[in-house]
């Protein structure tokens, strides 16, 4: 054993649920090893997480280093309770610290094309001109206030048009037009009062419809930071467009070959190779395009005072520095301290201390130096060079006794500084293979089917080894509401017998199966060819079609998991279901609907509606699974109950109250294999239990004594709240059943 392995073995921790051994740590593709003398503090939800970050910024003496996927200089990290008081914007805090002599460095991912869909650098504009281009909120096509004004203008026009129809004697047609206009007016009123975020579409300016001050602030802040208006504040963006400086090629270094190959191109070459050579059977051409063209730097970390180890503080975060990420643990339906237009948000970060700060610093410096001028490498003045005198031993302290490891996903910065790192994925797998009681996952996405396969394999292994108790899997995630991603989520659900929680996708697959069966029947019923030449050509072509159709039919039957009787019933109802879905979309988009159409939709929902279905979930051998999501609600004075989904952005895994993993990585192919991500994990029972005690009480109202009792409580509570919501009644807590009735089937992009 190496000296470090001896140290790990000497410091292993035990409790009744398990023993910490080396197989918890990532050791294959990791760049950073596990370190002793580390403290980890859970920071659950924005009030605590951003409060701790603000405290670290305010107390910083020498340096503030920030990496994030997104940045909004108008975001207020703290929200005082006192009426009339507001916390300072982070842009102001950083500028003030720079005036005090603190070195401030901010590094954010930005891609001009991707920014059209999701604005990561709020107010900076597409080309980093400080708000002079689209995406900054000042172009007529992008301003949210113009969108707001457009709705107001449409509202006035519709009211005038409705009044005209009322004074006409048009009979039935006029009445139908009036009904459609009134339906559209009701939808506009709903949109004007609806939550809106700034993360989507070109209009993303950092403000909601009624927050003009923040839009002006973000625009002006970036103009100043780009023009040197904040001395001491260095702001940089990064993407995957840098050329590879050195490339391993036939065991020799070719420093000039990288002039023709960038990090994005290298990633695309790897994805294409995996696809063409069949190394990754789950990889589709859509995935190759999405992952290869638009990889993202998704890490989130803050590091202060690194050169002064006695006061240095670090944060490994799930939270982005965007305003919609701020919320309290209560997730109130109406929270006055949230910014206008943003809804409830569930997220988790951690504060870390000890030698792992060396790894956070290396992660930051390497990324920062890549975006710095090349001559800093010539003259040995990179940030890495400046900070090279501080080492792990400078952070050792007998006051800290626990271990921790920084883990990552990185497409080109692995152990050899040029290879792929997937230590977050490795850590997920290791942890699942060590589970003997329960696994808890709270994650924004739930679409990496291999994870479900590992869970099934571990449950079967425990049974084979004679385990007396079964394995429990608690999952908290979002419903999808996005047709780009349904296939991978459905596949993951299918692996653990939960596919009926996505009834529309399942119906889509049943209808496609029937199309394939009908196509095969037509082929088999075709008349016999008239001559030998026609026979030769047709038999070859039709033979290939039959083989392919039979293969697709077999795969669909396995994927659907419905009896032939149930499939036949759905096929007979296809026309009515399709009509219901069409009317559903009209209602959702606020398109005009007559009263007759509204009544038709009501009747169709009564006959075919998803909320009338009681899903049949298939239990896996030795594995008990509950998939839930979170909802906030309030009752109006009139007794009506309103609901808002709590958006889950967390990226947490807990195993047996013994091990935790907190990262920026979602459970999808992008985060676990191709983007850059950052996390921290350790077999630390005192931290793992702190997470589960807090979160399970927060979501489910309480925690029971055993995993079996907790599982029963979760199943009963989630189902009960699902039924309460369908009936418009109050919920007992925020936990409710995952139930996606809106997303159609489509191949996932990641």
Angle, helix 285-293 to helix 263-276, in steps of 10 degrees: 170
Q: Is the dihedral of CA 6, 10, 11, 12 positive or negative?
A: positive
CA angle 14, 19, 20 (to 5 degrees): 100
Greatest mean pLDDT among 154-168, 248-262, 309-323, 372-386: 309-323
- Number of CB atoms found within 10 A of residue 524's CB: 10
Is residue 83 predicted with pLDDT exceeding 60?
no
Are 319 and 218 part of one and the same domain?
yes
Q: What is the pLDDT of residues 354-396, one digit of tens each?
A: 999 999 999 999 999 988 877 666 677 899 999 999 999 999 9
Greatest mean pLDDT among 125-134, 235-244, 669-678: 669-678
3-state secondary structure at position 621: coil
Strands 63-68 vs 103-109: parallel, antiparallel or unpaired: parallel
Residue with tokens 């590091």: 303
Distance CA 490, CA 485 (A): 9
Distance CA 72, CA 94 (A): 12
Which backbone phi and psi does 244 adopt, to 5 degrees? -75, 125
Are 464 and 483 part of one and the same domain?
yes
Measured CA distances, 230 to 103, 122, 125, 526 (Å): 11, 18, 19, 77
Strands 677-682 vs 402-410: parallel, antiparallel or unpaired: antiparallel
Q: What is the DSSP letter of 297?
A: B
Are 252 and 215 part of one and the same domain?
no
Distance CA 423, CA 27 (A): 8
Over residues 543-549, mean pLDDT? 88
* Residue 494 CB contacts under 8 Å (≥ 6 apart), including other chains: 559, 561
CA angle 341, 346, 352 (to 5 degrees): 125
Q: What is the pLDDT of residue 630?
A: 97
Last residue of a domain, one of 258, 273, 293: 293
Q: What is the pLDDT of residue 128?
A: 61
* Of residues 425, 423, 431, 429, the one with CA closest to residue 29: 423
If one compares 724 and 284, the residue with the highest pLDDT of the two is 724
Last residue of a domain, one of 318, 333, 354: 354
Are 457 and 310 part of one and the same domain?
no
Are 131 and 235 part of one and the same domain?
yes
**Does 574 reside within a domain?**
no
CA-based R_g, the chain, Å: 28
Q: What is the pLDDT of residue 169?
A: 64
Domain CATH code at residue 695 = 3.30.870.10
pLDDT bracket for residue 14 (50, 70, 90): very low
Over residues 674-696, mean pLDDT? 97
- 3-state SS of 63-76 is EEEEEECCECCCCE
Is residue 11 predicted with pLDDT exceeding 80?
no
E strand or H helix that includes residue 736: strand 735-737
In the chain, DSSP finds a helix count (H) and a strand count (E) of 22, 23
Q: What is the average pLDDT value for the chain, to the nearest integer?
A: 85
Q: What is the pLDDT of residue 72?
A: 92
**Does 506 reside within a domain?**
no
Are 116 and 262 part of one and the same domain?
no
Are 255 and 301 part of one and the same domain?
no
* Of residues 638, 571, 643, 640, the one with CA closest to residue 608: 571
Q: What is the pLDDT of residues 250-288, one digit of tens each?
A: 333 344 444 446 777 777 788 788 878 788 877 777 777
Q: What's the predicted TM-score (pTM) here?
A: 0.87
Residue with tokens 């907790």: 710
Distance CA 309, CA 48 (A): 24
Q: What is the pLDDT of residue 378?
A: 67
The total number of structural domains in the chain stands at 3
Beta bridge partners of 648: 346
Over residues 160-179, mean pLDDT? 80
Cβ–Cβ under 8 Å, residues 403 and 8:
yes
Distance CA 297, CA 411 (A): 10
Percent of the chain with pLDDT over 70: 84
Are 54 and 121 part of one and the same domain?
yes
Are 134 and 252 part of one and the same domain?
no
Query: What are the DSSP E strand ranges found in 254-304?
Result: 301-304
**Does 301 reside within a domain?**
yes
Cβ–Cβ under 8 Å, residues 155 and 185:
yes
**Does 375 reside within a domain?**
no
Is residue 141 predicted with pLDDT exceeding 50?
no
> Which range of residues forms the domain containing residue 744?
1-29+420-498+617-750
* Residue 587 CB contacts under 8 Å (≥ 6 apart), including other chains: 593, 598, 601
pLDDT bracket for residue 194 (50, 70, 90): low
**Does 592 reside within a domain?**
no
Cβ–Cβ under 8 Å, residues 587 and 601:
yes
Distance CA 606, CA 243 (A): 59
Is residue 10 predicted with pLDDT exceeding 70?
no
Q: What is the pLDDT of residues 550-595, one digit of tens each?
A: 999 999 999 998 888 989 999 999 999 999 989 988 888 888 899 9
**Residue 409: burial class (beta carbons within 10 Å; 0-12, 13-18, 19+):** buried
- List own/partner pairs for 613-617 with CB under 8 A and 24 or more apart: 613/500, 613/503, 615/500, 615/501, 615/503, 616/500, 617/497, 617/498, 617/500, 617/501
Are 744 and 639 part of one and the same domain?
yes
**Does 571 reside within a domain?**
no
Cβ–Cβ under 8 Å, residues 208 and 340:
yes
pLDDT bracket for residue 426 (50, 70, 90): very high
3-state secondary structure at position 292: helix
Distance of CA 325 to the CA centre of its chain: 13
CA angle 603, 606, 607 (to 5 degrees): 90
Are 64 and 3 part of one and the same domain?
no
Distance of CA 355 to the CA centre of its chain: 29
Are 494 and 628 part of one and the same domain?
yes
Q: What is the pLDDT of residue 132?
A: 41
Q: What is the pLDDT of residue 7?
A: 38
Q: What is the pLDDT of residues 45-66, one digit of tens each?
A: 999 999 999 999 999 999 999 9
Q: What is the pLDDT of residues 111-122, one digit of tens each?
A: 877 776 777 888
Q: What is the pLDDT of residue 166?
A: 82
Q: What is the pLDDT of residues 615-667, one digit of tens each?
A: 889 999 999 999 999 999 999 888 889 999 999 999 999 999 999 999 999 99
Over residues 496-523, mean pLDDT? 92
Cβ–Cβ under 8 Å, residues 368 and 236:
yes
E strand or H helix that includes residue 238: strand 233-238
Q: What is the pLDDT of residue 483?
A: 64
Over residues 87-103, mean pLDDT? 96
Last residue of a domain, one of 314, 333, 354: 354
Is residue 611 predicted with pLDDT exceeding 80?
no
Is residue 298 predicted with pLDDT exceeding 80?
yes
Angle, helix 486-495 to helix 532-560, in steps of 10 degrees: 70
Strands 623-635 vs 471-476: parallel, antiparallel or unpaired: parallel
Q: What is the pLDDT of residue 219?
A: 86
Q: What is the pLDDT of residue 295?
A: 87
3-state secondary structure at position 338: coil
Distance CA 643, CA 631 (A): 7
Is residue 160 predicted with pLDDT exceeding 80?
yes
Q: What is the pLDDT of residues 323-358, one digit of tens each?
A: 889 999 999 998 889 887 788 999 999 999 999 999
**Does 644 reside within a domain?**
yes
Q: What is the DSSP letter of 397?
A: -
**Does 562 reside within a domain?**
no
3-state secondary structure at position 642: strand
Is residue 468 predicted with pLDDT exceeding 50?
yes
Is residue 526 predicted with pLDDT exceeding 60?
yes
């Amino acid at each position: 054993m190496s000296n470090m392995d001896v140290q790990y073995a000497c410091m292993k921790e035990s409790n009744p649920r398990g023993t910490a051994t080396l197989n918890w740590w990532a050791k294959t593709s990791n760049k950073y090893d596990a370190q002793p003398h580390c403290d980890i503090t859970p920071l659950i939800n924005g009030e605590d997480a951003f409060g701790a970050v603000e405290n670290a910024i305010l107390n910083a003496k020498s340096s503030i280093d920030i990496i994030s996927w997104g940045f909004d200089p108008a975001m207020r990290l703290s929200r005082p309770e006192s009426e009339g008081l507001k916390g300072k914007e982070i842009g102001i805090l950083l500028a003030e610290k720079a005036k005090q002599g603190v070195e401030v460095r901010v590094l954010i991912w930005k891609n001009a094309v991707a920014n059209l869909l999701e604005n990561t650098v709020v107010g900076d504009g597409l080309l980093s001109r400080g708000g002079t281009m689209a995406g900054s909120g000042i172009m007529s096509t992008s301003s949210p206030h113009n969108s707001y004004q457009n709705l107001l203008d449409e509202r006035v026009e519709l009211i005038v048009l409705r009044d005209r129809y009322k004074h006409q004697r048009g009979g039935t047609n006029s009445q139908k037009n009036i009904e459609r206009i009134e339906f559209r007016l009701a939808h506009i009123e709903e949109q004007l009062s609806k939550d809106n975020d700034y993360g989507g579409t070109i209009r993303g300016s950092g403000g909601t419809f009624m927050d003009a001050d923040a839009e002006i602030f973000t625009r002006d802040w970036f103009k100043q930071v780009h023009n040197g208006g904040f001395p001491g504040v260095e702001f940089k963006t990064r993407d995957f467009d840098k050329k590879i400086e050195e490339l391993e090629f036939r065991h020799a270094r070719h420093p000039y070959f990288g002039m023709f190959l960038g990090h994005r191109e290298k990633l695309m070459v790897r994805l294409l190779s995996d696809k063409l050579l069949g190394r990754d059977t789950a990889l589709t051409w859509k995935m190759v395009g999405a992952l290869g063209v638009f990889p993202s730097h998704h890490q989130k970390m803050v590091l202060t005072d690194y050169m002064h180890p006695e006061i240095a503080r670090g944060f490994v975060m799930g939270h982005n520095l965007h305003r919609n990420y701020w919320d309290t643990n209560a997730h109130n339906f109406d929270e006055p301290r949230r910014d206008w237009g943003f809804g409830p948000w569930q997220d988790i970060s951690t504060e870390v201390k000890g030698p792992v700060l060396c790894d956070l610093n290396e992660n930051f410096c390497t990324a920062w130096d890549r975006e710095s001028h090349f001559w800093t490498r010539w003259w040995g003045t990179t940030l890495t060079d400046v900070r090279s005198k501080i080492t792990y031993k400078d952070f050792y302290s007998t006051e800290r006794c626990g271990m921790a490891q920084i883990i990552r996903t990185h497409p080109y910065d692995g152990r050899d500084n040029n290879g792929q790192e997937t230590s977050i994925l490795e850590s997920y797998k290791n942890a699942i293979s060590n589970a003997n009681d329960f696994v808890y996952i709270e994650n924004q996405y739930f679409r990496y089917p291999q994870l479900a396969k590992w869970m099934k394999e571990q449950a079967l292994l425990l049974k084979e080894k004679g385990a007396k108790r079964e394995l429990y899997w608690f999952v908290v995630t979002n419903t999808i509401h996005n047709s780009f991603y349904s296939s991978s989520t459905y596949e993951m659900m299918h692996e653990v017998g939960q596919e009926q929680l996505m009834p529309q996708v399942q119906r889509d697959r049943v209808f496609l199966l029937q199309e394939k069966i009908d196509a095969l029947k037509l082929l088999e019923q075709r008349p016999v060819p008239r001559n030998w030449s026609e026979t030769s050509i047709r038999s070859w072509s039709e033979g290939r079609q039959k083989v392919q159709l039979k293969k697709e039919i077999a795969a669909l039957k396995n994927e659907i998991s419905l009896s032939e009787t149930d499939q036949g019933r759905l096929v007979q109802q296809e026309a009515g279901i399709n009509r219901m879905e069409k009317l559903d979309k009209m209602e959702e988009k606020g398109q005009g609907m007559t009263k007759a159409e509204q009544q038709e939709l009501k009747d169709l929902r009564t006959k075919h509606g998803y909320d009338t279905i009681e899903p049949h979930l298939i239990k896996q051998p030795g594995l008990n699974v509950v998939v839930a999501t979170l909802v906030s609600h309030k009752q109006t004075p009139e007794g009506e109950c309103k609901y808002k989904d709590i958006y889950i952005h967390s990226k947490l895994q807990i195993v047996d109250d013994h091990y935790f993993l907190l990262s920026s990585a979602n459970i999808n192919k992008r985060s676990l294999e191709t983007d850059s991500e950052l996390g921290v994990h350790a077999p630390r029972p005192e931290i793992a239990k702190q997470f589960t005690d807090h979160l399970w009480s927060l979501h489910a109202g309480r925690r029971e004594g055993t995993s079996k009792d907790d599982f029963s409580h979760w199943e009963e509570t989630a189902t009960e709240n699902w039924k309460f919501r369908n009936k418009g009644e109050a919920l007992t807590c925020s936990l409710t059943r995952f139930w996606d009735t809106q997303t159609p089937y489509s191949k996932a992009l990641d």
